[in-house]
Structure 1
Amino acid sequence: MLEQKVNQFVKRHQLFHEGATLVVGVSGGPDSMALLHYLNAQKQQWNWTIIAIAINHCLRGADAEADIQYVSEFCLTYNITFEGGKVDVPKLKQEERLGTQEAARRLRYTFFEEKMNQYQADYLVLGHHGDDQIETMFMRMTRSANPSALKGIPMKRPFATGYLVRPFLAINKDMIEFYCKNSGIVPRRDPSNDQDVYTRNYFRKHLLPLLKNQNPNLHHSIQKLSESISADHDYLEEQAKKALENVLDSPVEQSTVSISINLLKTYPFALQRRMFHLILNYLYRTIPSGLSYEHEQQFFNLLHSDRANVTVDLPNCLKLHKSYETILFASNNKDVPYFSTSLPVPGNTTLPSGNKLLASLKHDNISDVKRKNTLILPVSNKEKYSPFIVRYRKPGDRMYVKGLGGSKKVKDIFIDKKIPLQKRDQWPLVVDQEGHVLWIIGLTKGMIPNQKQVKQYIQLEYKGAEHF
């Protein structure tokens, strides 16, 4: 019965190909031993090369050593290539403050990857079964509000030099135990599986029997649900990636992503959600455990807020900045840099952006006076101006603006011009020797004295790929 169910599953989902090299994770327990026995029985038909891998996690002393020896002897009996390994889970737990299960999983998959590369294997085959799928789905349901978490255990995914596959997701634990008994397999048993201190064991001992009592074939229903959710998720994820390209306000950088609120709102909520998570997946090397559906809700609150400038903190120093019609995702692990330099006349200076500011003397030519990236000043005040100071803003900076009859705070000019909050502290200003702000480069020019009777001028010109 096991063989028939698994064969149908393998064929329907095209899990393997002929002539492949299979690396099989084997613990000595019933699931992995039944898997190894089943694959070995199919080996000749598929022309497979099989390598069994058993790993000692340094958690159970002599019992773990005995498990490795048991698998080794089984492989010798059936003429299967065997590789044993040892990984230090207690050491990794201490170094990185991980739980036992997470540390063991990380080291185990690293070892599997090494062996896949060594043998240039096509598949890593693991013995997760239908009951494992039920436990996983319900565990995630209690912990997460993210629909993608309900995809469950994937039956096939890219891994190392090939794919990780789980052909036993088509069957349940009872079928495995029956197969072991009929095949003369006396597997090793890990006593910790009978304890409910681990979450999975708790679900296995207390919840699973109740669910299977209601539906003995629940593993079939849950597996079909997992496959359906995965297919829907993959399609929506692809659509979200395409949509995200359209809502990006600027090219993606290593630590920042800027998106247009108005464009984002034109897409269905399902895609908006996925775009949010795509951005997080890009900015976070590993999604932090502290990230929850509440942060997602904060993002949508920000999206629909009437406030012009709002900042929200996410885990691991990531911040969301809403500024008018833009939301910026930015890492906040660096202080705002300080910048101040002098600009002689004639001369030039390089801004932190890599763009240049040039100062030159002009005669009887002020044709460029209205250009956005050019500032013209009378040479009669050269002593007052030269050298100019080019710097970022300081608290209290003010500028004399034409038509006001007085000065105005630089902060208020930024607000009036709807400059995003995160750009204001790194926007270059030109200041004279008396501390007066003459030019917020590319944005606002200060009030310039009458230039009609002046024969010589100082021209400041901003040049670069970045235009304000």
Structure 2
Amino acid sequence: MENLAQSFFYNFRKYCPNQRVLVAVSTGVDSMVLLDLLSELPESVRPVIEVAYVDHKLRQESQAETSFIRNFCKKRHIKLHCREWETEIHPNVGIESAARTFRYKFFADIMEKTGIKTLLTAHHADDQAETFLMKLVRGGNIQQLQGIRVTRRFADGYLVRLLLNYSKDEIREYARKRDLIYFEDATNRSNDYLRNRVRHLLVPKMKDENSKFLEHVQSYEHQLSLLLCATEEQVDNYLVEMQINETAFSVDFWLSLSKSWRTLVIRKLLEKYSRKLNEDSLNQIESFLGNSQKPQGSIKIGMHEFLIKKYNLFYFDNKYQ
């Protein structure tokens, strides 16, 4: 427990330069441990803590949880921002996503009104692994495999996850030794949701196979983020070099790139202009631009849009002349 508190102190100093923080609290073990760790920081670095709490009105226990966090903050002279998600605006489908949207909109509103620049959430290493595995199951492009980051832009400040390097077991052990009071969400035990199935059925097996599974996920996430960031920077550089004027691009420059870079550059160019095409369409575009036997022509890439090639130039237009 001492090591956790010490490393938390280091992480706080590294990622939280501001002296006021907003802590997203659910009354679960993760957020209550985060709140306790913040409260136990040395007085010289301890921030002014404000708490954001949402009663989602999804469980009968929420009334007791709301009463608990109100009393908790009152006793410790912590300012509490509390909001209810009224049942009449609950959607019939996609309730988890809707709840998250409501919650983070509330957090952003508080930050705007108070001027707080740092939002702290209690995401941890198990959350990272679960998110990674869920994305593998669902599929998509490789950018989507990037997991939860320690810090990212949010509202007019930053969202910071200081517990991301700690496992759920470490967090529970800290709570046990500190004799913390927290609430367990009964829905977390149900396998009706994909995340819970990943949490209960997949992650434990991975940990059994290798006790360092969580560390390995963190490492892969970090390596992937570095590679994607470096690739993105190089693609942006190529796009600048390839651009001839405000709307047109050089076919010759594009052809001078390796096959891999040509694909990445075209993909980024299409994304830049909000055009989403499947792999077959991308291959068709590459074949069209690389066809020296047809120096002029067009290819339809949308309902009313064309990619037009005229010798060394190509550009996008809503009609072909």
TM-score normalised by structure 1 residue count: 0.60
Higher RCO, Cα 8 Å, sep 6+: 2
User: CA 1:212/1:274 → structure 2, altered by over 3 Å: closer, same or farther?
Assistant: same
Q: 1:310 aligns with which of 278, 282, 299?
A: 299
Q: Give the secondary structure class of the aligned counterpart of 2:149.
A: coil
Cα displacement (A) at 1:310: 2.5
Greater fraction of residues in helix? 2
TM-aligned CA distance change 1:213 to 1:156, over 3 Å: same
- Alignment of 1:3 with 2:13, yes or no, is no
Residues 1:321 and 2:304 aligned together? no
Provide the rounded CA distance (Å) in 1 between the counterparts of 2:24 and 2:204. 27
Which residue identity is paired with 1:73? Answer: N
Letter in structure 1 aligned against 2:102? L
Deviations 1:180-217 (A, max 9, x none): 11111121111111112222111111110111111222
Q: Does 1:187 align with 2:182?
A: yes
Which structure: greater strand fraction? Answer: 1
Which residue pairs with 1:207 in the alignment? Answer: 202
1:298 aligned residue: 281
**Deviation string, structure 1 residues 217-258 (Cα, Å, up to 9, x no partner):** 222221122122222222222222222223345526xxxxx5
Q: Give distance in 2, aligned partners of 1:224 and 1:207.
A: 19
Larger radius of gyration: 1
Q: Distance in 2 between matches of 1:298 and 1:234?
A: 25
- Aligned mates of 2:19, 2:270 — CA distance in 1: 37
1:109 counterpart = 2:104:
yes
- Displacement after TM superposition at 1:272 (Å): 4.2
Q: Is the 8 A contact 1:309 1:323 kept in 2?
A: yes
**Does 1:265 find its partner at 2:162?**
no
- Counterpart residue number, 2:128: 133
Once the two structures are TM-superposed, the CA of residue 63 in structure 1 deviates from its matched residue by 2.3
| Contact 1:130 1:170 survives alignment (8 Å) | yes
Cα deviation 1:139-176 (Å, max 9, x = unaligned): 21233342222221011111122211101111000011
Instruction: Describe the shift of the 1:184–1:90 C-alpha distance in structure 2 as closer, same or farther (beyond 3 A).
Output: same
Picking from 136, 141, 148, the partner of 2:143 is 148
Structure 2 unaligned spans of 5+: none
Stretch moving more, 70-79 or 27-36: 70-79
Query: 2:320 matched to 1:423?
Result: yes
Structure 1: 5+ residue stretches without partners: 253-257, 333-421, 425-468
Q: How far did residue 87 of structure 1 move?
A: 3.2
Q: Distance in 2 between matches of 1:210 and 1:222?
A: 14
TM-score if structure 2 supplies the norm length? 0.85
Distance 1:173 1:69 in 2: 25
- The alignment-based identity, stated in percent, is 25
Residue 99 of structure 1: aligned partner: 94
| CA spacing shift, 1:213–1:36, aligned 2, 3 Å | same
* Matched position secondary structure for 1:45: coil
C-alpha contact 2:34 2:122 (8 A) present in aligned 1: yes
- Are positions 1:34 and 2:33 aligned together? yes
Which of 231, 236, 254 aligns to 1:236? It is 231
**RMSD of aligned residue pairs (Cα, Å):** 2.8
CA contact (8 A) 2:8 2:37 kept: no
2: distance between equivalents of 1:154 and 1:27?
Answer: 20
